[in-house]
Every structure is written in structure tokens, then in C-alpha cells.
Amino acid sequence: MVKRPDARRRSEKSRRAIYDAALSLVGDVGYPRTTVEGIAARAGVGKQTIYRWWPSKADVLLEAFLDLGERVAEEAGQQPYRIPDTGDLAADLKAVLRATVDELLDPRFEAPSRALAAEGLVNEQLGREFVAKLLEPQLQLYVERLRSAQEAGQVRAEVDPRIALELFVSPLAQRWLQHTGEISHTYTDTLVDYALHGLAPR
């Protein structure tokens, strides 16, 4: 059944308000103290409005993050959920990682992402759900790009792409998560160069 345009617009507006409320609340008070009631109050809707669409706070947050990622990518003029394939693997990886640095430094993203990552460390079920639905699909885009590079002879055939991507993705993740170092475009460019060419002399 096609909804009337007015109802759909209202519904879209509520949905966006709920996403924003969920992200700001989890950033402010952390995951354990975030409740569906709290999200509803901050969004100015009844809690039944939330339960109509999502079974739990974890589900609201998952969708809110997916939506935020799409919005940030759109504003940056990127195709979300794609890694470019220009034939130049180093350039393509550097472009995506530079955009990721910008997203990680975006204040809208920072607090809620940290709150959720922190909870994922100690709450194994939530951690695994968010990895499966949010993180792993992004990592699979690198797997595809590296496979394409293997076909083009730019990556050694015996390399496992799922492990290989971690050489440039995980250092950025750890610096951002654990404050072990600054993150910048120069830094991620360097990671790509080291990973592709290796530390040993050629």
C-alpha cells in the first residue's frame, strides 16, 4: 500500500528525529544508560512510535549509524558503500581512507561511535551484531577492491584479501579508538604505501 505523501513526510521527519536523539543520547550517557524511553523523550515522540519500527535500542542505534554514514558520505560527495576502481589501487585506497579520517574526526560521529565501540568491547553479543551489520560490510568492500587488484596483477595472488585489508584499516581504527596516535591524510597515505610495498627492501 502506498502511503499518502503527507504521512510519509511526517514519518520521515520522526525517523530522522529519532536517529538524531539516539545518537546524541548514547554519546552523552553511554550505551547502558540509553533507553528507548530516553530516546523517545529526546526525540519528542511516544515510546510506542519507536517500538512500532524497532524491537530494541540496539536496532534503533544500528539504523541511526547506517543513516549517519550515508549522510556524511553524501555531504562529502562520495558514493556511499563503494570503493572506486580507477585501476590505481594505491590512489583508490588512499582516497577512501582519507574520507574515513574525515568521518572519524566529524564531531557528530565521534561521541556516539566511541560509546558504541566501548559497549561492544564488554558486551560480546552487541559487539558481534554491530560488527556483522555495520563494520564487516564495509570491510567486504576492501575485499572486493583487493580481489580486483589481484586480477589486475597488482596484488600477489596468494594474499588473503580479508587479512590484507587489516594492514591499513586496523592501524587507523586503533589510533582513533585508543588515542595511540594522531590520524591524518598523511598517516593513512603512509599506511597504504607500507602495506603495498612492504617494510623490507625490494
Question: Measured from the CB of residue 130, what is the shortest distance to its own copies in angstroms?
Answer: 9
Among 39, 43, 101, 155, binds its own copies (CB under 8 A): 155
CB of 59 to its own copies, least distance (A): 19
**Integer Rg of the chain from CA:** 19
Give the C-alpha separation, 124 to 40, whole Å. Answer: 26
Which residue, 61 or 115, is less far from its own copies as judged by CB?
Answer: 115
- Rounded distance between C-alpha atoms, residue 123 and residue 72, angstroms: 27
By beta-carbon proximity to its own copies, the closer residue of 45 and 117 is 117
Per-residue interface string for the shown chain with its own copies, residues 171-200, x marking contact by CB under 8 A = x-xxx-xxxxx-----x--xx--xxxxxxx
For position 135 contacting its own copies by CB under 8 A, the verdict is yes
Judged by phi (left if over 0) then psi (alpha if -120 to 50, else beta), residue 56 lies in beta
Question: Shortest gap between Cβ of 44 and its own copies (angstroms)?
Answer: 27
Place of cell 543520547: 25
Looking at residue 154, the DSSP 8-state letter turns out to be S
Which cell numbers hold the place of 151? 586480477
Question: Considering only residues 97, 115, 142, 183, which one is a binding residue for its own copies as defined by CB under 8 A?
Answer: 115
Which ranges in the chain belong to alpha helices (H)? Answer: 5-29, 36-43, 47-53, 57-75, 89-104, 107-122, 124-130, 136-151, 161-164, 166-178, 185-197
131 near its own copies, rule: CB under 8 A: yes
Q: CA-to-CA distance for 54 and 61, rounded, in angstroms? A: 10
In the complex, the smallest distance separating the C-beta of residue 102 from its own copies, rounded to whole angstroms, is 20
Among 120, 142, 145, 183, binds its own copies (CB under 8 A): 120
Binding footprint of its own copies on the chain (CB under 8 A):
30, 114-115, 117-122, 124, 127-128, 131, 135-136, 139, 146, 153-156, 159-160, 162-164, 166-167, 169-171, 173-175, 177-181, 187, 190-191, 194-202
